[in-house]
Amino acid sequence: MTKIIFAVTVLTALCAPASAQERMKVKSEESLFLDMHKIGLGSLNEFDEKKKFFETVRLEKMKIQESMLSNVYENAFEYYRAGKYDDAKDLASKILAIDPNHADAQMLLEASSQLRGSLRPSFSEKIMLEDRFRTALGLYTDGRIVEAHKKMEEVVKLSPNNIKAKYWYAKMKEDLREYYSQKGVEAYNLHDLKGALDNFYSALLIKPKDARNMEWITRIEDEMRQEKANDQLKVALEFYAQGNLKDAYEGLKRALETQPGDSKANKLLLEVKNEIESGYIASGKKLYGTRRYNEAIAEWGKARPYSSNLSYLDKLVLRAREQMKLEAAEKQRRGEEAARRAREEEARRAKEAEEQKKAEEEAARKGVSVEEVVKKPQGVSAENRLAAQQHYLEGLKFFQNSNYEKARSEWTVAKQLDPENADTAAGLKRIEQILAGGQ
C-alpha cells in the first residue's frame, strides 16, 4: 500500500497544472547549472558542449520516468488483480498521459474499462481472457503471426498463471522468430539490407543464441560495411581525379575505418600519402634554393604525417638549420670586416688631414707653398690610385657574393695599380685563407 501511495503522489505531481510544472522545471534547471562547478563540468560556452549536456539530462530524465512508470504500472496491476478496476483504470490513464505509447498501460486500461462495474469480476475476467485467447488463436490460424503473438502476450500478462495461454504464447514466439527470419531472407533477396538486418535482429531478440540468425546478421553487416566503404572509396577517387589529395586521403581513411581490410583502399592510400609527401618535399626544396630556410622547414614538417621515411625529413631539416648557421656566421664576419675597413678608412683620412694641417703650418712658417713642403708620393699616380680603388670595390662585390675567384682577380689588379692599398692586401689574404679551407 505504501508503494501505491507513493506512486499516486508522484503521478499527482506530474499531472499538476502547467504553472506548477514550470516552476519545478525552472528550479530544476537552475539547480543543475548552479551545481555544475561542483560536479566538475565547468561553464558550457560552446554550442556542442551545451547540446551534449542537455542530451545527457534528457536521457537521465527518460530513465527516471521509465523507472517511475514501471513502478506505477505494478501498482495499477495490483489494483487490477484485486478487482479494483476503477483504481487500475485511473492509474493506467495517468501513465498514458505521460507516455501515450506505454503498451502495457493501454492493455490494462482496456481490460479495466471492460471489467469495471461487473457484478461477478472473476467470471467476467475469465470470459474476457477466453475471448482474447480465441482471438489470438484465430489470428494465428489465419497466418497473422505478429498480431496473434501480441494478443496472446496480453493474455499471458493479464493472467500469468494461465498454462494454456503460456503454451500457445511460447509456440507463437517460436513461429514469430521464424516469421522474422523469413522476412529477413526476403528483404535480403530484394537487396534491402537494412530491412533484412532489422528483421534478423527482431528474430534474435526472440531467440538470442540462434546461430543461424547470428550468421545472417554478421553477413549482412559485413556487406553493409563493404557498401559504405565502396561509396567512400568512390568519393575519394573523385577527389583524387580532381587533384584534391588531402580530401582524397581523408576519404580513404574513412573507407578503411569502415572496412580495414580493403586492399584497393589501402593501396591507393599509400599512393596518395606518397604524392602528398613528395609535394611538400619539393616545395620545401624550392624554398631552400631561394634561402627561405624557415619556410622550407615548415613545408617538410607538413610532410611528416604522410611520410614513411621520417629520417629523410630530419636530414633535410638538419641541413637547412646548419646552412642557416653558416650564413649567419658569414653575415656576422662580413659585418665585422666592413666595420674594420670603415675604421681604417676613417683613420687614414684623419691621418691625411693631420698631415695636411702640419704641411700648411710648416709652409706658413717657412713662407713657401704647401706643395713645396709636401713631397709628392713616388710610384703611384692619382689616376692609378683611383683605378685601384674602383677595382677594389668591384672585387668586394664579388667577395660578398662568394665569387672568390673573380674577387681575387679584381684585387690582384688593384694591388698592381696601388701596392700600398691595405684593404686590397687584406682582401687577398682572406681569399687565400678561405680557399685553403680556413675561416
- Chain segment 281-303, per-residue pLDDT in tens: 999 999 999 999 999 999 999 99
Cβ contacts of 148-153, under 8 Å, gap ≥ 24:
148/172, 149/173, 149/175, 149/176
**Which DSSP symbol is given to 306?**
G
Is the pLDDT at 48 greater than 80, yes or no? no
Is the pLDDT at 119 greater than 80, yes or no? no
Q: What is the pLDDT of residue 8?
A: 43
Provide the CATH number for the domain formed by 119-209 in this structure: 1.25.40
Q: What is the pLDDT of residue 373?
A: 63
Average pLDDT, the chain: 80
Q: Which string of b and e fits 197-235 if b means at least 16 CB within 10 Å?
A: bebbebbbebbeebeebeebbeebeeeeeeeebbebbeb
> Which of 368, 374, 384, 393 lies closest to 419 in space, CA to CA?
384
Candidate from 52-56, 273-277, 302-306, 367-371 with smallest mean pLDDT: 367-371
Of 439 and 232, the one with more pLDDT: 232
Candidate from 99-108, 244-253, 416-425 with smallest mean pLDDT: 99-108
pLDDT-derived band at 38 (thresholds 50, 70, 90) equals very low
Q: Is 146 exposed, middle or buried (0-12, 13-18, 19+ CB in 10 A)?
A: middle
Q: What is the pLDDT of residue 6?
A: 42
pLDDT-derived band at 117 (thresholds 50, 70, 90) equals low
Q: Are 300 and 286 in contact (CB under 8 A)?
A: no
Residue with cell 683611383: 386
- Which pLDDT tens digit goes with each residue over 358-390? 877 877 777 777 676 665 555 567 788 888 888
Numbered ranges of CATH 1.25.40 in the chain: 119-209
Q: What is the pLDDT of residue 5?
A: 42
